[in-house]
């Protein structure tokens, strides 16, 4: 059930990445919704879940969106997911700021791994995209923290709505 | 339960996932030679396996071939040893022929120098008895040999013919105890008679008390007995003992090594005394 939910989240993230992501970013600043899902799953479900989610999501993203080597994104997301899961189990990341930091650092690490592997394998010439990476990390962190806040507020809101309806009936 | 196991082994799972990604990427990346990295690495690893297998197989094959080779080498070795023995025998035969040729050349030179009529003869036997020092040559009366003809060698005087037969002759050596030859000291011209003693030495007898004889003097034939041509080397004085004014003993070391003689010359030319008397002269035969 949980796995199905994760797969659904990945699918939604990919769909959103290819459709609405361009509307929430501008210029060189982008957002990686798939990475946000991977880090989110890792923080909530642990390193193994983060690892497997990163693998599946990265490979699908590579095969669908990438024009380069299939596997680089999967490798980067697997590492990020695994390490994020470890961080989530070893440290208290229940507050927005720690989560923000995790998403931020995870995005930078993901980009570093992706760019590094691509350069080593001679696939692309990236130059020095510090601003783009920093912008993406910022956006991912904001989106990730927002996702956490939403997921925590949404069950309470539904409950409050149910309770409000029952009071009205009395 | 399985999920729990997987989580407990998350490190291994992580490594497996990483390995899977690396393999996946390697399969798509070409090396500098244009070959896929995965193929290159796989081939590199498999080539090491091939190398190891080949080395092992080669080692076994080498051992086996050497074992088989050793068996062949054993037979070949035996054949080569036989051939080597044959070659050694041939070599010795050739060397003997060369030695014989050298000896014959020396005899030929001697005949040319001496202006004597001679005939060459091979030694076919010799007497081992110390009492009678004789040898047998392969020429006899058929070649004109007669008793008391001188027998010489490149080194010096050998002896005289005592019994000629049709095809062989017995030669009395100088060192026979019954042999004697007129001799003189080449340096001082002192005369005497060289006599055999049965051993490897000669004695110089009948030497005048006033004669000058010293060790190292060369002793040659005097020709006085009418058998040996004058001036042929008998030997050298190797010991002189005096008893008062007279010589007690003068020892001569023969110039000829009788034990190594193979060919000799028989002097057919009559000596002046032979010619004068018309009959062979007698040596000392007591």
What are the pLDDT digits (tens) for A70-128?
888 899 999 999 999 999 988 888 899 999 999 999 999 999 998 888 888 776 666 67
**B10 and A82 in contact by Cβ < 8 A?**
yes
Phi and psi torsions of B221, nearest 5°: -70, 145
Band of pLDDT at residue A17, cut at 50, 70 and 90? confident
Give residue-wise pLDDT tens across range A24-73. 666 667 888 899 999 999 999 999 999 999 999 998 888 877 767 788 88
Evaluate whether A129 touches A110 at the Cβ level (below 8 Å).
no
| B241 bridge partner residues | B249
Residue B146 DSSP code: -
Residues of A in contact with B21 (CB under 8 A): 55, 71, 74-75, 78
- Confirm whether A72 is domain-assigned: yes
- Confirm whether A14 is domain-assigned: no
**A71 and B25 in contact by Cβ < 8 A?**
yes
- Confirm whether A131 is domain-assigned: yes
- Confirm whether A113 is domain-assigned: yes
Nearest CA to A42 out of A59, A56, A60 is that of A56
Disruptive mutation site among B7, B9, B21, B31 for chain A (greatest number of A CBs within 10 Å): B21
List of residues 6+ apart from B214 with CB closer than 8 A: B237, B240
- Residue B119: helix, strand or coil by DSSP? strand
Output the domain CATH number for residue A103: 1.10.1760
- Confirm whether A118 is domain-assigned: yes
Q: How far is A164 from chain B (nearest CA, A)?
A: 40
Pick the CATH number of B118-277 from 3.40.50.1580, 3.30.350.10, 3.30.1490.20, 2.40.10.340: 2.40.10.340
**A78 and B24 in contact by Cβ < 8 A?**
no
- Confirm whether A78 is domain-assigned: yes
The residue of chain B with its CA nearest to that of A51 is B14
Distance separating alpha carbons of residues B180 and B193, to the nearest angstrom: 7
The confidence score (pLDDT) of residue B285 equals 34
Band of pLDDT at residue B281, cut at 50, 70 and 90? very low
Task: Give domain limits for chain B.
Answer: 31-114, 118-277
- Confirm whether A5 is domain-assigned: no
User: Which domain does A99 fall in, by range?
Assistant: 29-164
Partner residue facing B21 (CB), from A71, A121, A122: A71
Q: For chain A, what is the domain count?
A: 1
Buried-exposed string A88-125: b where 16+ CB fall within 10 A, e elsewhere: beeeebeeeebbbbbbbbbbbbbbebbbebbeebebee
**A75 and B18 in contact by Cβ < 8 A?**
yes
Residues of B in contact with A38 (CB under 8 A): none
| B122 bridge partner residues | B263
């Amino acid at each position: 059930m949980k796995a199905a939910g994760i797969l659904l989240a990945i699918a939604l993230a990919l769909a959103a990445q290819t459709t609405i992501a361009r509307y929430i970013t501008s210029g060189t600043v982008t957002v990686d919704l798939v990475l946000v899902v991977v880090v989110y799953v890792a923080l909530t479900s642990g390193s193994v879940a983060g690892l497997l989610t990163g693998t599946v999501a990265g490979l699908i993203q590579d095969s669908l969106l990438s024009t380069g080597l299939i596997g680089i994104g999967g490798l980067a997301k697997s590492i990020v997911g695994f390490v994020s899961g470890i961080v989530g189990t070893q440290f208290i990341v229940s507050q927005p700021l720690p989560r923000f930091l995790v998403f931020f650092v995870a995005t930078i690490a993901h980009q570093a791994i992706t760019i590094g592997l691509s350069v080593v394998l001679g696939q692309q010439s990236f130059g020095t995209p510090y601003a783009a990476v920093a912008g993406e990390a910022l956006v991912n962190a904001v989106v990730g923290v927002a996702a956490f806040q939403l997921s925590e507020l949404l069950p309470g809101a539904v409950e409050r709505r149910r309770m409000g309806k029952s009071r009205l009936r009395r | 339960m399985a999920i729990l196991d997987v989580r407990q082994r998350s490190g291994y799972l992580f490594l497996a996932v990483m390995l899977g990604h690396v393999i996946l990427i390697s399969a798509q990346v070409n090396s500098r030679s244009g070959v896929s990295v995965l193929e290159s690495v796989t081939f590199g690893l498999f080539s090491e396996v091939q190398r190891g297998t080949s080395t092992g197989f080669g080692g076994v094959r080498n051992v086996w071939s050497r074992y088989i080779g050793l068996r062949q080498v054993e037979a070949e070795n035996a054949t080569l040893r036989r051939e080597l023995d044959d070659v050694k025998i041939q070599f010795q035969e050739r060397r003997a022929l060369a030695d014989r040729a050298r000896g014959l050349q020396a005899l030929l030179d001697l005949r040319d120098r001496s202006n004597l009529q001679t005939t060459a003869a091979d030694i076919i036997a010799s007497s081992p008895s110390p009492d009678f020092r004789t040898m047998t040559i392969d020429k006899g009366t058929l070649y004109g040999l007669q008793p008391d003809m001188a027998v010489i060698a490149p080194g010096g005087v050998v002896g005289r013919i005592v019994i000629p037969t049709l095809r062989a002759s017995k030669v009395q050596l100088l060192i026979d105890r019954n042999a004697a030859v007129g001799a003189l000291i080449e340096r001082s011209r002192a005369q005497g008679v060289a006599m055999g003693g049965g051993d490897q030495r000669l004695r110089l007898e009948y030497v005048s008390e006033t004669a000058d004889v010293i060790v190292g003097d060369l002793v040659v034939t005097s020709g006085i007995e009418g058998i040996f041509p004058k001036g042929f080397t008998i030997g050298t004085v190797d010991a002189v003992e005096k008893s008062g004014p007279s010589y007690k003993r003068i020892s001569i070391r023969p110039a000829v090594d009788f034990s190594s003689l193979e060919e000799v010359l028989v002097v057919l030319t009559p000596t002046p005394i032979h010619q004068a008397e018309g009959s062979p002269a007698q040596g000392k035969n007591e």
